[in-house]
Structure 1
Amino acid sequence: MTDEKRRPRPAAQYGPTATAVSENVKRLRERRNLTIYSLSGMLEKVGRPITPSAIAKIERQQRQVTVDDLAALAVVLGVSPSALLLPLDDSPKNTIEVTGAAGSVPADVAWDWADGQRPLKILGSDIGAAWLEYQLYGRPSLRRGRGHRMEGANIRDEVTRYVNDALQDLREQGFEPELGEDGLITWRQHQGGDS
């Protein structure tokens, strides 16, 4: 191939989630007093070799992390994949950016989503339907509802019951859901009142 026909490879674009991954890999490696060489050795032992120079590039956002890299890094660093994907902040007062979320979301909502507890955003106005679909399509059967297997026609009833129970628990604690224009649900606690 001649130089005329070669096109330069486009620079990788790193979003906020890639930034969080690079920062978290470095933070966790340093907290565990690991060098890039020892982390590389640990990754090789679990069957996902990443060279020390590649780890340094990951930490500087000069190398993208594949899904398999992310899983192996989480295993050897002793954390869940979500601990690499998000900044270490779950305060409901703070917002963070998540790639694909089209803007910032409350940090606690992002963590609940990453931990499989809730949808990141609710599209449409039917909160119950959104939770139901999240449980049906985004969670394995033993993880839906209260941890028991739901089969056949009872799935919708069980998930609806679970969602209603969870919503009732929040309401009993003095919280009410508010659906924002961006599709995010926020829970506001009543001030004063008879709690």
Structure 2
Amino acid sequence: MAENLARLRRETTAELAAAVTKLGVPMTASTITKIETQKRRITVDELVALAAALGVSPVTLMLPPEGDQTETVRLAERLTVPGWREAWRWMHGLTPLVARKRVPVSGLSWLATNRPYVTEEELAKIMFAAPATIAVEVLEEEVDDGPGS
């Protein structure tokens, strides 16, 4: 996130902060500097407003701009995806992640839920072109999911 913000910002931190503030999310130049230097986390509202002010989607700020299939991409503190392309595909609602001890959903169900704007014809094209699931690594100890687990 921090590297992408710095890479995509084509104006001063003060100018970007003003643009974000105009979108209803108060922000200062200092806040942007702290985000870029990883001294501050951002909220979802800030992520959305920053993306809008920069003219990109929120996922463009969140994921590496390029990579290869041998790289592991960290999506959360204890969640990684084995491959750059898989991370982007999941974030764009193309393919589900399958975490340990979770039952994978069907590809069609996933697409219908995560891309509600897509027509049936488009769903068929996507289903044909996309892999059904992506395995992810959940970096945690065994979790007791309750009775029967």
Q: Same fold (TM over 0.5)?
A: yes
Is the contact made by 2:94 and 2:111 (CA closer than 8 Å) also made in structure 1?
no
Is this contact kept in 2: 1:70–1:81, CA < 8 A? yes
Deviation at 1:71, TM superposition (A): 0.4
Superposed CA RMSD in Å reads 3.0
Larger radius of gyration: 1
1:81 aligns with 2:63: no
- Residue 6 of structure 2: aligned partner: 26
Where 2:82 maps in the other structure, the secondary structure is: strand
**Could you say which residue in structure 2 is the equivalent of 1:8?**
none
TM-score computed with the length of structure 2 as normaliser? 0.73
Give the CA deviation at 1:104. Answer: 3.5
Structure of higher RCO (CA pairs closer than 8 Å, 6+ residues apart): 2
CA distance in 2, matches of 1:179, 1:113: 9
> Which residue of structure 2 lines up, in the alignment, with residue 143 of structure 1?
118
User: Taking structure 1 as reference, are residues 94 and 146 closer, same or farther at Cα in structure 2, changes over 3 Å only?
Assistant: farther
SS for the counterpart of 1:71 is helix
Separation (CA, whole Å) in 2 of partners of 1:178 and 1:68: 31
Note closer, same or farther for the CA distance 1:101–1:109 as it changes in structure 2 (3 Å cut).
Answer: farther
- Report the Cα offset of residue 101 of structure 1: 6.6
CA–CA distance in 2 between the matches of 1:63 and 1:119?
29
Looking at structure 2, the residues matched to 144 and 94 of structure 1 have their Cα atoms a distance apart, in angstroms, of 33
Distance 1:113-1:145 versus aligned 2 partners, 3 A rule: farther
Q: Which residue of 2 aligns with 1:193?
A: none
Provide structure 1 residue ranges, at least 5 long, that are not aligned to the other structure. Answer: 1-20, 148-158, 171-176, 185-195
Q: Which amino acid aligns with 2:112?
A: L
Q: Is 2:21 the partner of 1:52?
A: no
Identity among equivalent pairs (%): 33
The gaps in structure 2 that reach 5 residues or longer are 138-149
The secondary structure found in structure 1 opposite 2:47 is: helix
TM-score by length of 1: 0.58
